[in-house]
Structure 1
Amino acid sequence: MNTLPAPRTVPADAAELEAVLERAVTVVEAAGELLRKRYDTAARPGDLDEIVRAIHANDKAVLALVAQPLLDTRPGSRWVEDELAGGVLPGGEWWVVDTAEGNINHIHGMGEWAVTAALVRDNAPVLTVVHLPLTGNTYTALRGKGAFLDGAPLRASAKTDLRAALVGTGQAKPGEDEEALRRTGAAVTAMLLDALVVRVSVPATLQLVHVAAGRMDVFWQFSDVRSGLLPGALLVAEAGGTVTDTRGEPWSLASADFLATAPGLHARAVDVLSGPR
């Protein structure tokens, strides 16, 4: 069940979007190479000020490499400035990019980070690229054309029993309010009682690519941060997974939370998450 919203405007010619995707892959992979060169497995920032400086330095370096080239692939498209923002965008086409998805991991010498880009038309994702520089893997999806890992098709898990499921969630961003954090904790407990294993980690996209590939079975997040959800949402939906909010309603940028699952686990995941409100 693909429950992502459809663009209001007439889609561009498929060949045109495929060309945009090809160029976007080139841009994102080049950005990933820059971020890889900035990566140091021995990095150990000592305090919050150093963490913030390192995060901003990564963002600034990669942004200079990706922003204009991606805008040039779609004349008239616009750029979302705040990668931690959520909610509905004005109509038209927007690039939603995370210059260092998992930046906090990168600056601590950990390996779970990526560069991501999604083209959004009328608040619906139509194209996405997720590049993992340390492995060289690139995940791509085009609306209605499937999801791929380095050109090979992706398929969501065929599991139907939550007791056999690998489930994930994570903190969307620093400084979330106490109510949201307590709700997350309650949901983790609820899932621990029903699922096989629950992973709590960041970033969201690196869990969602696993759901799209069938390695993981469920991911949820009580968040509306666009950059962490849009790329993975399109990948999961195009891989045959189910994408809704945690109540099972169709997901959009107006939704307050997010759920992506193997199709055979969706109903049970909604049941479990219906308690922690």
Structure 2
Amino acid sequence: MTDSIQSTGNAAVAEAASASGSDAELLAQTATAVGAAGKVLRERFGDVVPYRTREELMRALAANDNAALDVLRPRLERLRPEAGWVEEELAGGALPAGEWWVVDPAEGNVNHLHGLPEWGVTATLVRDNEPVLTVVHLPLTGETYTALAGGGAYLDGRPLHVSETADLGLSLVATSQARPDEDEAITQRIGSSITAMLVDALVVRTSVPASLHLLNVAAGRIDAFWQFAGARADLLPGALLVAEAGGRISDAEGLPWTPASESLLAAAPGVHTAAVATLSR
């Protein structure tokens, strides 16, 4: 994430917020909309959903997405009628100028289908390629994580702060697979990075989705998270949460991160440099 995101509340964002009303009020309304979509997914959650082919899997994933979107999309569009809507969850790169909703209606959808608890609903408003606000709701626990550019990160209204750990050797770190059928070069890089972290860190966690790991970095439960490749909907919510909770956001080589970057590293400040060194080997 670029320095402008890490030091959010820049003049352009502030001016846009003043012209379009209170982003804090919009954040609260967005949280209500995301919570309503989460209720739909919670009602659909239970037994493992069987599938025998890739086509059956894709239909099951789409059914979850569509059920949540039927509730979420009209509510968000009423809140911001002029904002664009990112149709493709796995898309990355820069967006056109203006406001855009970047949404994952079933983040961790494959976990939901397998009866696993690691899933949620996310919505992020992006203004001129800077995330302005984000909401991540976990329906099974009822937890709602929110962040407002320049306004901090919160869990159900309680401020979030990243870990104070300063030793990678004492750190709990995590990574995630961006998508199935990843490019072979990326899968090789993922594997080598896990091996390197197994040597340098205390414990390494590997699971999907990325957003839940990033929530844990923002909350100080995990000291660092990295991922190679990824999509806006996967990474923007957690990246804003971590930045607003006092963490450092970069790519795996320590360079400024954007949704077009080939990797992301979100870490407590005390272990960021060491994590970059490990991932750059």
Interval containing the TM-score (normalised by the shorter chain):
over 0.9
Report the counterpart of residue 170 of structure 2 in structure 1. Answer: 164
Paired AA for residue 262 in structure 2: A
Q: Residue 259 of structure 2: SS of its match in structure 1?
A: coil
1:257-268 equivalence runs, <5 A: 257-268=263-274
Give the Å deviation of 1:173. Answer: 0.9
1:183-202 equivalence runs, <5 A: 183-202=189-208
Report the counterpart of residue 117 of structure 1 in structure 2. Answer: 123
Structure 1: give runs of 5+ residues left out of the alignment.
Answer: none
Q: Residue 17 of structure 2: SS of its match in structure 1?
A: coil
Check conservation: 1:41, 1:110, Cα contact below 8 A.
no
Matched, 1:98 2:104: yes
> In 1, distance between residues paired with 2:87 and 2:256?
26
CA-to-partner distance for each residue in 1:7-50, whole Å, 9 max, x for gaps? Answer: 75533139610111111011000000000001013444444333
Give the Å deviation of 1:254. Answer: 2.7
Give the Å deviation of 1:51. Answer: 1.8
Report the counterpart of residue 12 of structure 1 in structure 2. Answer: 17
Matched, 1:182 2:188: yes
> In 2, distance between residues paired with 1:219 and 1:15?
34
Check conservation: 1:44, 1:109, Cα contact below 8 A.
no
TM-score when scaled to structure 1?
0.95
Q: Residue 102 of structure 2: SS of its match in structure 1?
A: strand
Matched, 1:270 2:261: no
Range 73-82 or range 140-149, more displaced: 73-82
Matched, 1:130 2:136: yes
Paired residue for 1:204, among 204, 210, 213?
A: 210
1:189-268 equivalence runs, <5 A: 189-268=195-274
Paired AA for residue 58 in structure 1: N
Give the Å deviation of 1:157. Answer: 0.2
> In 2, distance between residues paired with 1:166 and 1:195?
7
RMSD over aligned Cα atoms: 1.7
TM-score when scaled to structure 2?
0.94
Paired AA for residue 3 in structure 1: D
Matched, 1:59 2:31: no
Range 70-79 or range 214-223, more displaced: 70-79
Equivalenced residue count is 275
Give the Å deviation of 1:113. Answer: 0.2
Report the counterpart of residue 31 of structure 1 in structure 2. Answer: 37
Check conservation: 2:48, 2:113, Cα contact below 8 A.
no
Range 214-223 or range 61-70, more displaced: 61-70
Give the Å deviation of 1:151. Answer: 0.3
Paired AA for residue 172 in structure 2: L
Check conservation: 2:145, 2:155, Cα contact below 8 A.
yes
Structure 2: give runs of 5+ residues left out of the alignment.
Answer: none
Range 5-14 or range 28-37, more displaced: 5-14
Check conservation: 2:2, 2:257, Cα contact below 8 A.
no
CA-to-partner distance for each residue in 1:51-110, whole Å, 9 max, x for gaps? Answer: 211101001111111112112212311100000111111111100000000000000111
Report the counterpart of residue 3 of structure 2 in structure 1. Answer: 3
Check conservation: 1:2, 1:241, Cα contact below 8 A.
no
Check conservation: 1:87, 1:224, Cα contact below 8 A.
no
Paired AA for residue 100 in structure 1: A
> In 2, distance between residues paired with 1:118 and 1:69?
14
Q: Residue 119 of structure 1: SS of its match in structure 2?
A: strand
Check conservation: 2:2, 2:258, Cα contact below 8 A.
no
Check conservation: 1:4, 1:243, Cα contact below 8 A.
no
Give the Å deviation of 1:118. Answer: 0.4
Paired AA for residue 12 in structure 1: A
